[in-house]
Amino acid sequence: MNILVVGAGGREHALCWALAKSPDCGTLFCAPGNAGIAGVAECVPIGAENVDALVAFAAEKSIDLVVVGPEAALVLGLIDALRDAGIRAFGPDKRAAILEGSKAFMKDLFAKYDIPTAAYGRFTDYGEAVAYVRAQGAPIVVKASGLAAGKGVILCETIEEAIDALGAIMRDRAFGDAGDEVVIEEFLSGEEVSFFALVDGRTALPLVSAQDHKAAHDGDTGPNTGGMGAYSPAPVLTPELEAEIMQRIIGPTIEGMNAEGRPYRGVLYAGLMITGDGPKVLEYNVRFGDPECQVLMARMNSDLLALLLAAADGRLDGAEVAWRDGTALVVVMAAEGYPGAYQKGSLIKGLDRAGGIEGVTVFHAGTGAEDGNIVANGGRVLGVTALAATAKDAQAAAYQAVDLIDWPEGFCRRDIGWRAIDRESSH
């Protein structure tokens, strides 16, 4: 079978790496891909949001399955365009991708189908939003409803901060159209965990949990990023909790989406807070997480291609998925300055040595090739991923590999996985 993966990050490298292992994988293409992906797939220079060119390419190459990584392409309707052209694709269509594309839609779905989440209000009028904040008090959370590349959520400790956030989003339009509407939410405390399931419209196949580190610096300090590292499984997610999440959150979401005439197919990524009152959904993403996908693929011991085909074809009922023992952990190496301004083009050496460490795979998130060398080409640049018996061992292997990478212009956190390691050492 000919496969096309759409996207250019560490997530797409991990997906290509896993798909390439399938006995049914023929020619594997990635659009646009990166220098690491080029090692396992044929990269084609078409942007992930160039819907017409992607459809034309898939038709020309007789692609049997298109796997779409990033949310923007899904929200734009790439899956719809592919299906209209008779091309099989994995991911939600535009009507279902609204679950990530509009937080206002998502929160109303939770309310209508009694899915546990933070109390909220949704507003298009600045004055009404300010009045709501004053009535609720602080701490409180202000969110742009639309897609804002992970930056549209502002945790506010005081009423004044919340009013400033509303001004930035609604008046100064800091996130453009994504801030036409805001969601204002109750502040939840607890431990955060991500949970993933494959969905085929009716049936959900639970995958596994992961925890990511969104803050740029050690000790979970500094600005929010797309994710500086992750590990799987997350020890906080017990089998009992998983059953509760499937029954009270994932199941009702799939039924609700069907009842709304928006059947969901693809991977459902639930961002959850484990509160004193049980698990509550913070948000849904309609795609694999990045870098969470890297640790999921490192652990998966089933044919990913077969699973994605089953999800796309509505055949997940009875499907099973196997996982390797142990913990997978990914350390993201980013360009100095990220998530603010950073330089591109610096030379990266030592990748072969790093990848030679047992259990380690170095996924590329933002690299290019220049004169036979690998150069940085993005904010998050590498995802150094290790699988080992324990979180502590996986962390040690990942940092051993990181230390073999010669890239003075890069940085990483040195404490990825600390929560899981604390738990291990207290048992």
Footprint on this chain of ligand AMP (rule: CB under 6 A): 118, 141, 150, 153, 155, 185-188, 192, 214, 271, 282-283
Residue 12 binds ligand GLY, judged by CB under 6 A: no
Residue 10, interface with ligand GLY (CB under 6 A)?
no
Which amino acid is located at 66 in the chain? V
Identify the H or E element spanning 66. Answer: strand 65-68
The span of 140-148, 198-206, 249-257, 287-295 binding ligand GLY (CB under 6 A) equals: 287-295
Q: Which residues pair with 349 in a beta bridge?
A: 406
147 and 178 Cβ atoms separated by less than 8 Å? yes
**Are 94 and 76 a contacting pair, CB within 8 Å?**
yes
- Single out the segment in contact with ligand GLY by CB under 6 A; choices: 20-28, 121-129, 289-297, 317-325: 289-297
Position 185 contacts ligand GLY (CB under 6 A) = no
Query: Which partner from the list ligand GLY, ligand AMP, none does 227 bind, CB cut-off 5 to 8 Å by kind?
Result: ligand GLY
Using rule CB under 6 A, residue 289 touches ligand GLY: yes
Tokens of 402: 């990181």
**290 near ligand GLY (CB under 6 A):** yes
200 binds, among ligand GLY, ligand AMP, none (CB under 5 to 8 A by kind): none
The CB-nearest residue to ligand GLY is: 227
Distance CA 160, CA 351 (A): 48
Kindly state the tokens that stand for 105.
């839609």
Shortest approach of ligand AMP to residue 214 CB, angstroms? 6
Contacts to ligand GLY from residues 200-219, by CB under 6 A: 212
Which tokens hold the place of 162?
A: 């919340």
- Answer yes or no whether residue 92 interacts with ligand GLY by CB under 6 A: no
Minimal distance, residue 192 CB to ligand AMP, in Å = 5
Stretch that binds ligand GLY, among 21-29, 178-186, 239-247, 288-296 (CB under 6 A): 288-296
Rounded to a whole number of angstroms, the minimum distance from the CB of residue 286 to ligand AMP is: 13
Is residue 233 near ligand GLY by the rule CB under 6 A? no
7 binds ligand GLY (CB under 6 A): no
Closest CA to 183 of 92, 276, 272, 111: 111
State in angstroms the smallest separation of the CB of 70 from ligand AMP: 15
Among 285, 377, 385, 395, binds ligand GLY (CB under 6 A): 285
CA-CA distance, 342 to 369, in Å (whole number)? Answer: 18
Tell whether residue 226 is a contact of ligand GLY (CB under 6 A): yes
321: partner contacted, choices ligand AMP, ligand GLY, none (Cβ within 5-8 A by kind): none
Is the Cβ–Cβ distance between 385 and 298 less than 8 Å? yes
Cβ proximity to ligand AMP, 189 vs 301, nearer residue: 189
What residues pair up with 329 in beta bridges, in sequence order? Answer: 231, 386
Closest distance of CB 167 from ligand GLY, Å: 26
By CB under 6 A, name the one of 12, 292, 303, 393 that touches ligand GLY: 292
**Cα separations in angstroms, 411 against 336, 337, 398:** 6, 9, 14
Give the separation between CA 93 and CA 76, rounded to whole angstroms.
Answer: 9
- With contact defined as beta carbons under 8 Å apart, do 57 and 44 qualify? yes
CA distance to 16, 360, 378, 381, 406, per residue, from 375 (Å):
20, 20, 10, 9, 11
CA-wise closest residue to 73 among 89, 46, 50, 56? 50
Report which DSSP code applies to 188: P
Of 365, 356, 423, nearest to 391 by C-alpha is: 423
Which stretches of the chain bind ligand GLY, using CB under 6 A? Answer: 150, 212, 226-227, 285, 289-290, 292
